[in-house]
């Protein structure tokens, strides 16, 4: 509608140039469709395998407490949701790239292949309030049920002491 082509490298800049109400409308429409497609668990769904999900979980937990503070994550069959704190945006981008590089190599090696594994784009949010933080905790926890997944088709982890249910959380 507004001439923004998501296949162009500058689409984020074009989006930021829109009025705030139009950016908000885009976000509402885009994120609902984005998440619905992800939760449909389309594609190969390599991460449904506990072994492959374990590669991602181990990578996320590896530098927890040293380079970042991990709050929760869920590894879905074809995507991952992570709620984590960094010192700054550069640290976040560097760590996300490191997670993707390491896990792509490890998973491709286990599958006997090479090449791209993850999408190039990272869909990230800056958490601006306690209410938003709590909403994201709940969203991540409920994502498997909302996608209709059964136990064993996803991997969920949450730091103890986070203000949510603990009945499905493995020990730290």
**Is 154 within 8 Å of 144 (Cβ atoms)?**
yes
Per-residue pLDDT of 107-144, as tens digits, reads: 999 999 999 999 876 667 778 889 999 999 999 999 99
Per-residue pLDDT of 34-47, as tens digits, reads: 777 777 787 889 99
Residue 77 CA to residue 83 CA, distance in Å, equals: 18
Q: Which among 168, 162, 171 has a CA at the least distance from the CA of 69?
A: 162
Q: What's the pTM value of the predicted model, to 2 decimals?
A: 0.77
């Amino acid at each position: 509608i507004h001439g923004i082509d998501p296949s162009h490298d500058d689409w984020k800049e074009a989006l930021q140039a829109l009025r705030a109400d139009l950016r908000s409308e885009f976000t509402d429409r885009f994120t609902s469709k984005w998440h619905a497609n992800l939760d449909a668990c389309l594609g190969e769904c390599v991460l449904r395998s506990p072994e492959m999900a374990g590669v991602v979980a181990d990578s996320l937990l590896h530098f927890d407490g040293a380079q970042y503070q991990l709050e929760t994550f869920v590894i879905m069959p074809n995507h991952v949701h992570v709620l984590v704190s960094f010192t700054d945006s550069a640290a976040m981008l560097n760590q996300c790239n490191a997670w993707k590089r390491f896990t792509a190599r490890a998973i491709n090696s286990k599958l006997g292949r090479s090449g791209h594994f993850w999408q190039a784009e990272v869909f990230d949010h800056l958490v601006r309030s306690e209410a938003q933080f709590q909403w994201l905790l709940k969203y991540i926890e409920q994502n498997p049920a909302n996608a209709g997944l059964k136990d064993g088709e996803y991997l969920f982890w949450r730091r103890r002491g986070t203000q949510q249910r603990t009945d499905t959380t493995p020990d730290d």
